[in-house]
């Protein structure tokens, strides 16, 4: 990018702090006080402009989350962290709860049949705006779906969503841990680096993936961790479409 283009970007674009990977109490591994209201209040208090609630293989807390976010000074993106057949975590970001719900139908149809045993895997709470439990999700959300990475990325794209390879630096549940490397035919919109890896180290280890945009996020499972890692996006406004544009190269991404 030329120097002039940089000047233009800095004139038009505003800097937004984003944490695009947060688990609510619907994820079996998350703390029970990770209700949508508390997540949003915590994120606002920490000066985060954009968050995504991304539960394991489920979108059932998103409607509540979006309703709460309407009256708050924050943008919330509907999301899901989906487990592929290869046991890689794919972070899916959507422009609407409806799209996330359509994706959820596909995911639910691809999870193993069975009932979640809370004693081993934890509670999966669907809650309302007042932090009250509406019901327990009894599906095996912590399991892998029967969908391959390609199936998942194609499905996410078919509903206009963004597919991010989750925490590629982790030794489990990442595309690289499971499949060795990111091949050219994996059509990810971005890669995510976890909070375990510093930027300079990530740049050295993953330099062959410089063709992708990179983000980093908290992957918070408790309130304390929200915003422990964030990505700065330079956008015209805080919206799904603008983040999609930034991933395509229109706009700057920094962390």
Partner 1 sequence: MLTINDIAEKLGLDLKAKGDVHKGVTGCYISDLLSDVMANSKDHELWVTLQTHPNVVAVAAIKGISGVIITNGRSPEADTLKRAAAENVTIMTSPYSTFELAGLLYNLLKNANVK
- Judged by the rule CB under 8 A, the positions of this chain that interact with partner 1 are 85-87, 148-150, 171, 176-181, 183, 185
Smallest gap from residue 86 Cβ to partner 1 (A): 6
Our CB check for partner 1 shows the closer of 3 and 185 to be 185
Smallest gap from residue 147 Cβ to partner 1 (A): 12
Smallest gap from residue 116 Cβ to partner 1 (A): 23
Which string of DSSP letters, residue by residue, matches the chain? --HHHHHHHHHH-EEEEEEEEE--TTSTTS-TT--HHHHHHHHHHTT--EEEEEEETB-TTHHHHHHHHTTSSSEEEEEEEEEPTTS-EEEEE-SSHHHHHHHHHHHHTTSPSS---HHHH---EEE-TTS-EEEE--S-TTS--S--HHHHHHHHHHTT-EEEE--TTSSSSSHHHHHSS--TT---SEEEE-TTS-HHHHHHHTGGGTTS-EEE---BSSGGGTTSS-EEEEESSSSHHHHHHHHTTSSEEE-
Smallest gap from residue 182 Cβ to partner 1 (A): 9
Our CB check for partner 1 shows the closer of 12 and 172 to be 172
Our CB check for partner 1 shows the closer of 113 and 119 to be 113
Our CB check for partner 1 shows the closer of 86 and 131 to be 86
Our CB check for partner 1 shows the closer of 35 and 174 to be 174
Our CB check for partner 1 shows the closer of 13 and 163 to be 163
14-22 and 231-235 as β-strands: parallel, antiparallel, unpaired?
A: antiparallel
Smallest gap from residue 170 Cβ to partner 1 (A): 11
Smallest gap from residue 187 Cβ to partner 1 (A): 13
């Amino acid at each position: 990018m030329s120097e002039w283009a940089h000047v233009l970007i800095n004139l038009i674009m505003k800097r937004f702090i984003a944490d695009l990977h947060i688990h609510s109490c619907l994820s079996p591994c998350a703390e029970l006080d990770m209700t949508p209201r508390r997540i949003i209040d915590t994120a606002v208090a920490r000066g985060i402009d954009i968050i995504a609630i991304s539960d394991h293989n489920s979108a059932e807390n998103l409607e509540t989350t979006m309703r709460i976010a309407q009256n708050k000074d924050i943008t919330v993106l509907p999301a899901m962290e989906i487990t592929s057949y290869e046991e890689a975590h794919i972070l899916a970001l959507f422009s609407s709860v409806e799209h996330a719900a359509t994706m959820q139908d596909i995911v639910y149809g691809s999870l193993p049949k069975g009932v979640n045993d809370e004693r081993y895997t934890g509670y999966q709470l669907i809650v309302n705006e007042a932090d009250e439990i509406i019901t327990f999700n009894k599906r095996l959300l912590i399991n892998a779906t029967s969908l391959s990475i390609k199936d998942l990325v194609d499905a996410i794209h078919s509903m206009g969503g963004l597919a991010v390879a989750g925490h590629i630096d982790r030794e489990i549940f990442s595309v690289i841990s499971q499949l060795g490397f990111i091949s050219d035919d994996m059509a990810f919109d971005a890669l995510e680096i976890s909070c375990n890896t510093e930027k300079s180290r990530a740049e050295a280890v993953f330099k062959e993936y410089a063709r992708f945009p990179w983000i980093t996020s908290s992957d918070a499972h408790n309130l304390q961790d929200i915003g422990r890692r964030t990505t700065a996006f330079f956008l015209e406004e805080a919206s799904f479409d603008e983040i999609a544009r930034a991933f395509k190269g229109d706009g700057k991404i920094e962390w």
